[in-house]
Amino acid sequence: MSSEADNIVSAIIAKWCAGFARLDAGALSSLYSRSAFFFGSNPTLYRGRDGVADYFNGLPRWRKPSAAFSEVSAAQAGPDLINMGATISFDLAGERPDLVVKMSWVIIREDGDWKIVNHHASSKEPLI
> Model confidence over 73-116: pLDDT tens digits?
999 999 999 999 999 999 988 888 888 999 999 999 999 999 99
What is the Cα–Cα distance from 4 to 10, expressed in whole angstroms? 10
> What pLDDT sits at residue 97?
83
> What pLDDT sits at residue 1?
42
What is the Cα–Cα distance from 21 to 36, expressed in whole angstroms? 22
Count CB-CB contacts under 10 A for residue 62: 17
> What pLDDT sits at residue 126?
63
Query: What's the length of the chain?
Result: 128
Q: Which residues contact 3 (CB under 8 A, 6 or more apart)?
A: none
Contact 28, 16 (CB under 8 A): yes
Nearest by Cα to 62 from 94, 99, 103, 40? 94
What is the per-residue pLDDT across 26-40, written as a single tens digit (0 to 9) for each? Answer: 999 999 999 999 999
What is the Cα–Cα distance from 68 to 17, expressed in whole angstroms? 7
What is the Cα–Cα distance from 126 to 13, expressed in whole angstroms? 25
